[in-house]
Every structure is written in C-alpha cells, then in structure tokens.
Amino acid sequence: MMNNASAVQAAGLRVTRGGHPVLDDLSFALPRGRITGLLGPSGCGKSTLMRAIVGAQARVTGELTVLGRPAGHRELRSRVGYVTQAPSVYADLTARQNLDYFAAVLGAPARARAAAVEQALRDVDLTSHADALTGSLSGGQRGRISLAVALLGEPELLVLDEPTVGLDPVLRRDLWALFHRLAEERGVTVLVSSHVMDEAERCHRLLLLRDGRLLAEDTPDDLRRRTGTATVEDAFLHLVDEARATAGAAVTPLRTKATP
Amino acid sequence: MNAARKLATARRVLRQLAHDPRTIALMLVVPCVLLTLLKYVFDASPRTYDSAGAALLGIFPLITMFLVTSIATLRERTSGTLERLMSMPLGKADLLGGYALAFGAVAVVQAALATGLSVLLLGLDVTGSPWLLLVGALADAFLGTALGLFVSAFAASEFQAVQFMPAVLLPQLLLCGLFVPRGAMQPVLGGLSDVLPMSYAVDGMSQVVHHTGVTGLFVRDLAIVAGCALLALALGAATLRRRTA
C-alpha cells in the first residue's frame, strides 16, 4: 500500500475534539487519478477527515501524507482543491468576480486569469449566470460556484464535501460526469463524500466510515460480492450488523476495520 | 507578503462594497450630516465648534471603519471563505493588508469629504493646515480598521459584533477629552484616558487646531495611534488560524 501511486496515505490517523476521538485509528490510501467515495451517516466524521486532509483540522495525530507531503504543508495549498459543505463564496460578488479573486489568490497571472475563470464556469455549467450576484442565485448554483473555485489552478487532488446535496438528478449526473472527466483526462484524484449511498456506485473505490472508524475500504463491486449483497447500501448495513455482532460476542471495543 | 495577492484582496473588498451602494452612501454622507448638525448646535460658541469639530473629524472615520471592518471580517469567518482562503496560498498579512488598503481607500474619500465640508463650507477654523486634519483622520481610520479586525475574532454573530462598538469605542469616546479636557479628569480616569488610543487621536487633531505647522506632539500622537493600530493588527493576525477545531 505504501507507494507513489497513492495521492493520500493515512496510518493510525486520529482526531480528537473536546477530548473525545472523532476519528479513531484510520489507515487507508487514495489511489492517484481515481474517484474515491467517502460514505457514512451524518456525523460519522466525514467532514473532519476531509478537513484533516486539506490541513484545516486541528489536533490530528498519526500519519497523513498528501501528494508526498505532510497534510497541511504550505506547498500543498495550491495543489489541493477543497469544497466545504456550505458554499464558501462571497454572496455580494458575482460568480465571475468570485472566481477572479480566488484565481488571483492561487497565483494566476492577470493575463491567464480570464481564461481560467471561463473554463471553471464552463466546467460547472454556469456561464449563463456568470454576472449574476451570487447571493441572488439558488443554493445549488452557489454550490457550483464554490465547486468552480476548487477547480481553478488545476489541482492534483480535489476534496469535495457532499457536492451534490440538493441538486436535481440531471445536474447530479452532469457533475459526476465532470468528476470522471477530471480523473480520466486530467489525472485528478477525487475524494467525494456523500451520505447518499446510491452515489457510491459511481466511484472507483469506497471508504465506508461509521462512528469515526473505517468499516471498509474497497471497490463497490468487491464490497457487494464480499458481503453477498445487491447494493452498496445493503453492504453497508451488513457490515454495521456484523460489527455489532462481533462487539456483542467478544465484549471488546469495536474492531471492525475490514481489509479488502 | 505578496503584493499581487494583497492588491487582489483589496480589489475584491472594494468590489463587494460596490455591490452595496447604500453602505457607501451611509459611510460618506452620515459624517457630513453630523458635522453640519454640530456646527448649528454650537452656533453660539464657535471656539467649541472648532475643537469638537476637529476631534470628531478623527473620531468619525475611526467608528465607521471599526463597524465596517468588524462586520466584514466576521462575515468572512462565518461564511467559510476565511477557511477556504486559509487553505490557499494566501498569507495572513496579505489578507489583513488587503482589507486595510481597501478600507483605507474608503477612509480617504470619507475624510476628504468631511474635512473639505468642515473647512470650506462650515467655517471650521484651524490654526494648522487642513491637510494635517486629513492625515490625522487617515491614521484614525487605520486604527478603526485594525480594532475592528481584532474584535471580530471574539464575536460569534453580527449582533455581538455590533455590540462591540459601544463596548470598545464609547468608553474611549467619554475619556478622550471631547467632553472634559483630559487634564481636568480625576487621576484614575486621567490614567485610563492615557492608555486608550482614541485619546491620542483627539489630541493630535487638537494640535492642528491650536498650532501652525507640524508639532512634535502631533507627530507623537500620530505615532501612538499608528502603533496601536499595528499592535491590534498583529493581534488580529494571531486570531486567523489555518487549523481550527
């Protein structure tokens, strides 16, 4: 598992908040140029894990390597794109002005900036709303501006926290097509979280997270095969039940990390 | 420090303001209206108008910039854009410097309008050069921006941020020498007045009212105001964290 093919590598990763563990002893790897889905119920630690990877999370212990550097290294700041759950863009700027500013922060020279902004707007299909005030757009449109910001500067790793929540089916399909295009054509590594299990089928690999622990790290096909289930949702439920049974029988703390 | 990123930040802040013409109008017009009001309140005692008017020319930009900056940075913190910027290659000094530049530019316009109106139309009589009033007003605006940035770290909502204005600025207003000369205050209050930055903002302006040319005290007062602003800015920078719990 320890090789250069991994964009992100974690071993014994732990995060505490208020003295309590939020993430407990996570070890996994994200292969380069692939889409990995981070799945699990609300509050299981998905956002915390993503914040740890982009270097926004305090009190992270264990090993966490991102693109060959320790997570949060200053050199990574222009190589990793990050989209939070709530759209983090300026409501009192237009979409274009938002993108223009963040492109400047990423260090794009003034000449190249307009083209980069146009490309990002096209990627998220917002060219027609480019000059509307962000605050007057719908929640889904604001989310797409936020996503477009993360696409600026051609990041090698994209960390997307529930980017498809609240979007209509057509848009969701288009965004997933975009993620695949980014992975296949530009070699971008994508980590995308969701609590909607049917999105899991669109990922190359999955991390199943529950209560801050890793339940499984596998491809959707192998996960279903291994658990003898028809959908990833059923596989997830199967693993949760299995973990409960083990914990109940042995009366030991949960040790449920399955290895593929 | 990166000049391009700092300028981009300043341009972004000004663009945000440009989408909010009512705020711009309030920032520019309200001080002028208040100064005009002051003129007629002190119609019978022009000397009082001269000293109070000059002091207020320093105090208005301080208050306006404090309010605008504390709300703007609070929004930056709560909207998630600060977290995003901190995950990008933007230095804290570039962010703070960008804000200071943008609001500084607004302060120049505000101070120019207020000073111009007072000296040219309302007949504010100062011994020194009106340009020195402008310089003083700018230093005070800078102090307001820096204090606003600093206190925004302690506000969790816009309600709290607005309440910091009376909490932080009104005691300074009472003790700065506008109502009672600083020398005539009780020793304890005088001592308190001596350690509050707004006192020096007002002292500096009164130097211009009473003396021709740039006095040593004017320079000292200005240096104290700028020093306090830099200190608040440094403390504000310390509250910007790349990693948060």
Looking at every residue in chain B, the average pLDDT score rounds to 92
User: In terms of pLDDT, which residue wins out, B97 or A254?
Assistant: B97
Residue B171: pLDDT band with limits 50, 70, 90: very high
Closest Cα in chain A to B15: A93
Closest by Cβ to A56, choosing from B5, B12, B87? B87
Q: How far is A55 from chain B (nearest CA, A)?
A: 6
Using the Cβ of A73 and the Cβ atoms of chain B, whether some distance falls under 8 Å is answered with no
Contact yes or no for A90 and B241 at CB 8 A: no
CA distance B55 to chain A (A): 34
Which of A66, A92, A147 should be substituted to probe chain B, the one whose Cβ sees the most B Cβ atoms within 10 Å? A92
Report the pLDDT value the prediction gives residue A72, as an integer from 0 to 100.
92
Contacts of B16 in chain A (CB under 8 A): 90, 92-93
Distances (CA, A) of A118 to A77, A114, A134, B13: 22, 6, 16, 22
Cβ separation of B87 and A102 shorter than 8 Å?
no
The whole-angstrom distance between A56's CA and the closest CA on chain B is 4
d(CA B40, CA A58): 57
CB contact under 8 A, B79 and A90: yes
> Is A56's CB within 8 Å of B11's CB?
no
Q: Residue A77: which of B80, B87, B244 has the nearest Cβ? A: B87
Task: Give the pLDDT of residue A18.
Answer: 85
pLDDT at A41: 87
Q: In degrees rounded to 5, what are phi and psi of residue A54?
A: -85, -5
Kindly list the residues from chain A whose CB atom is less than 8 angstroms away from the CB atom of residue B89.
Answer: 74, 77-78, 105-107
Q: Are B57 and B139 in contact (CB under 8 A)?
A: no
Nearest CA distance, B139 vs chain A (angstrom): 28
- DSSP secondary structure string for all residues of chain B: --HHHHHHHHHHHHHHHHT-HHHHHHHHHHHHHHHHHHHHHTTT-HHHHHHHHHHHHHHHHHHHHHHHHHHHHHHHHHTSHHHHHHTTT--HHHHHHHHHHHHHHHHHHHHHHHHHIIIIIS----SS-HHHHHHHHHHHHHHHHHHHHHHHTT-SSHHHHHHHIIIIIHHHHHHTTSSS-GGGS-HHHHHHHHT-HHHHHHHHHHHHHH-SS--HHHHHHHHHHHHHHHHHHHHHHHT--SSB-
Sign for the CA dihedral angle at B109, B114, B120, B124 comes to negative
Q: Which residue has the tokens 């997270």?
A: A209
> To the nearest 10°, the Cα dihedral for A67, A68, A72, A78?
-50
Question: Residue B226: is its pLDDT beyond 60?
Answer: yes
Q: Do B87 and A97 touch (CB under 8 A)?
A: no
A–B: how many Cβ contacts below 8 A? 82
* Residues in B touching A149 (Cβ below 8 Å): 84
**Chain B residue with minimum CA distance to A55:** B243
ipTM of this predicted structure: 0.89
* Residue A77 sits at the chain B interface (C-beta within 8 Å): yes
Do A57 and B243 count as a contact with CB atoms less than 8 A apart?
yes
A244 touches chain B (CB under 8 A): no
Residues of A in contact with B95 (CB under 8 A): none
> What's this model's pTM, rounded to 2 decimal places?
0.89
What's the pLDDT tens digit per position in B35-49? Answer: 999 999 999 999 899
CB of B86 within 8 Å of a chain A CB? The answer is yes
First to last CA, chain B: 26
> Which residues of chain A fall below pLDDT 70?
1-4, 248-260
Query: What pLDDT shows up at residue B36?
Result: 95
pLDDT at residue A249, rounded to an integer: 59
